[in-house]
Structure 1
Amino acid sequence: MALLQLATREPEHQIEARGNAAREVIGVSFRLPDPRQRLPYLAERKTNPVFQFAEALWYLAGRRDVDMIGYYAPSIRSSCTDGVHLGGSAYGYTLFNSADGGQSPFDLVVELLLNERDSKRGYLSVFSTAELADRSNPDVACLAGLHLLPRDGHLHMVCNMRANDLDCGLLSDVFSFTMIQEFAAVQLGLRLGTYTHTIGSAHVNDHNADRVRRVLDEAASGPAVHFAFPSLPEDTTAVTIERLLVHEEALRTNELRYNAPHIQSHLGLHPYWQQVVMLFELYRQIQHDQVATVDPALLHALDPGLRWLMVRKWPACAAAVGGGAH
């Protein structure tokens, strides 16, 4: 909220990069003392938890296919030049895959930190200057890199961004990167530390100015809504992500449909991940069944914070609770 206010009301520059007029401030950062609280509860912002989890899992699985992530955010397809794979924005592909068939950069850093707990070398680079070779490239990485720093039994992380759209990209980036941080902490057997986010070009696009104004007005009108976000299960591994994405694909392709009792009793998933499958099933109902009202039992099986967000994002969810007032 502070960055939105700064960029819109006290911008340092008015820029127009690649046809996008925007207000900009240069060289900003913030720190989250509890990165697990990674979702803003703002009715005007209409945060989409389905996409947030889908993108985080897409990264953690090391994928770059547009089919999966494009289902949750169709506008992303415009950045795909071959209709199949995304480029610089597929951060997980860079982090969780090896270019030479050996260990991935993520695995190398985890191995380093397991053996050298106070290391300063746990840096995961993403942006490459090679991405600039093609001036028409629509998909250059905004993320420069992630710096993992284990200290005193906690895993801290510093994220370096070359640029951030404060109204859109920032929310998704913080969600996904803190998920990667928490995933790394679990692999290292460490508690979750602080998350520091630094941005070279922090900007708000002019075409989003009206929504930003409404969000700022809402935030200024009273105390913020807050819901606690649960901890990532301590047994989470890459295999966990693979298992979860089997259900994601079945729902995304409309091959299966689930109800709450089936998800809770028959999938063999931790309750944390059951919630994610519930989100994917609700989205399946909205996209494939095109229902006017989603399954109320499924919606009410969600954690309160996720239900609050879904009700404010999707009319079919609001209809299931009588208009979204609850």
Structure 2
Amino acid sequence: MPEFDSFADAYTSGLREVLDGGASVPSVRDPHSKASDFGQKDRPYRELIAHSFRVRDPRKSLAISSALPVNLPYCFGLLAWSLDGRNDVDTPAHYRRGAHEYSDDQHTLSGAFGHRLITAAGGDQVGAIVERIRQDPAHRRTFGLVLEPADNFRRSREYPCAVGVQLFLREDRLTWLTVMRAQQALTVLPYDGFLFMLMHQWAAALLGVEPGPYIHQSGTFHFYDNEIDLARSVTAGTVTSGSLPALPDTPEAAQAAVRELVDVERGVREAAAAGDTAALDRFADTKAEAEFADVARACLTTFAYRKLGDSTTTVDSPAATAEVRDLITAL
């Protein structure tokens, strides 16, 4: 399995592999699938079967490219939504156009990863796995399921791309393995990778250990033919690794930081939806306790100002790196 120092390196390498050796596949025809644009067009693609990579440091979770700028507000919004175990469609739709087209009822996203891992089926799978590892560090019954048998019988617009995740505590470091049935390698992997690498860090903090390697396995690793030129532009340019402040490394502090992230995301998003600039001003002026949550506050509040037509107000966080500060300024 190829191993990389950062997610940015793994991302770029994967794109090159698809460009150089990916097999051509005709379009999916299922009208319930985005792979056919829900029955509206042909979307042939290139793919690698059974593609895997390993990232040594999951804290290097951002791939920054001028050819395909990362939507950092969506990264934070997706993370908060997932860690809160929600499946409403309005949250991701706030950050990303087109989210509603995946919803069967225009209210929920049935395959939401965080919802299925944390709140569906009567309990928190990640929390249960962490506790099992705490009690028995060598345990292997540590797989959290996203995909479920019923998905194969539903006629739904959303069939989860993730199969599940597995955690291993080895040599006092937590390895996180994500198994994807299908991974769109160009425009979706930067967000799936960010989400699961941050969940990896969170789970490690709940155990009070360092995060070890992050492993990402995909049944099909692909992008569409009409994205080939963009993929070439990304790989021909510079893809920079970006990092965020680490989550606190104790269970109580990590949980508090996640709660702060969830509360900030919800508060800023609801203020933007209501056009409440006074509330946004309060978020802009009030530093979060956890450094990670504070960078999220700066990013999400700046994005909310942009949503309301303010193109000049940029909220800063002293915890942001220069690369992340540039992403926020460019919103």
For residues 12-55 of structure 1, the C-alpha deviation after alignment (integer angstroms, 9 at most, x for no partner) is 23231242321111111000000110001211110111111111
Aligned residues: 300
Q: Relative to 1, partners in 2 of residues 1:301 and 1:282: Cα closer, same or farther, differing over 3 Å?
A: farther
Matched, 1:8 2:19: yes
Q: Which amino acid aligns with 2:176?
A: M
SS at match of 1:244: helix
Q: Which residue of 2 aligns with 1:189?
A: 208
Q: Which residue of 2 aligns with 1:307?
A: 325
Q: How does 1:73-84 map to 2 (within 5 A)?
A: 73-84=96-107
Cα contact 2:61–2:242 (8 A) shared by 1: no
Q: Which residue of 1 aligns with 2:109?
A: 86
Q: Which amino acid aligns with 1:17?
A: V
Q: Which residue of 2 aligns with 1:241?
A: 258
Residue 78 of structure 2: which of 26, 30, 55 is its match? 55
For residues 270-290 of structure 1, the C-alpha deviation after alignment (integer angstroms, 9 at most, x for no partner) is 2221110111100011112x1
Q: Which residue of 1 aligns with 2:6?
A: none
Q: Distance in 1 between matches of 2:162 and 2:169?
A: 21
Matched, 1:38 2:61: yes
Q: Relative to 1, partners in 2 of residues 1:152 and 1:301: Cα closer, same or farther, differing over 3 Å?
A: closer
Q: Which ranges of structure 1 fall in alignment gaps of 5 or more residues? A: 315-326
Q: How does 1:1-326 map to 2 (within 5 A)?
A: 1-18=12-29, 19=36, 20-88=43-111, 90-100=112-122, 103-135=123-155, 137-219=156-238, 225-234=240-249, 235-254=252-271, 255=276, 256-258=279-281, 262-264=285-287, 267=288, 269-288=289-308, 290-295=309-314, 298=316, 302-312=320-330, 314=331
Q: Relative to 1, partners in 2 of residues 1:239 and 1:15: Cα closer, same or farther, differing over 3 Å?
A: farther
Q: Distance in 2 between matches of 1:182 and 1:274?
A: 17
Q: Which amino acid aligns with 2:268?
A: L
Q: Which amino acid aligns with 1:176?
A: L
Displacement of 1:4 in angstroms is 0.8
Displacement of 1:300 in angstroms is 8.0
Q: Which amino acid aligns with 1:179?
A: L
Cα contact 2:102–2:158 (8 A) shared by 1: yes
**Cα RMSD for the two superposed structures:** 2.1
Q: Which amino acid aligns with 2:127?
A: D
Cα contact 2:61–2:241 (8 A) shared by 1: no
Q: Relative to 1, partners in 2 of residues 1:227 and 1:67: Cα closer, same or farther, differing over 3 Å?
A: closer
Q: Which amino acid aligns with 1:79?
A: Y
Q: Distance in 2 between matches of 1:304 and 1:75?
A: 31
Cα contact 1:275–1:303 (8 A) shared by 2: no
Give the alignment's TM-score, normalised by structure 2.
0.84
Q: Distance in 1 between matches of 2:151 and 2:63?
A: 32
Q: Distance in 2 between matches of 1:240 and 1:300?
A: 17
Q: Distance in 1 between matches of 2:172 and 2:57?
A: 15
Deviating more after overlay: 7-16 vs 118-127: 7-16
Displacement of 1:227 in angstroms is 4.4
Displacement of 1:301 in angstroms is 7.5
Displacement of 1:213 in angstroms is 1.6
Q: Which amino acid aligns with 1:168?
A: T
Q: Distance in 1 between matches of 2:206 and 2:72?
A: 24
Displacement of 1:170 in angstroms is 0.9
Give the alignment's TM-score, normalised by structure 1.
0.86
Q: Which amino acid aligns with 1:10?
A: G
Displacement of 1:98 in angstroms is 4.8
Q: Which amino acid aligns with 2:47?
A: E
- Seq. identity, %: 23
Cα contact 2:257–2:290 (8 A) shared by 1: no
SS at match of 2:197: helix
Q: Which residue of 1 aligns with 2:4?
A: none
Cα contact 1:263–1:274 (8 A) shared by 2: no
SS at match of 1:29: strand
Q: Which amino acid aligns with 1:232?
A: L
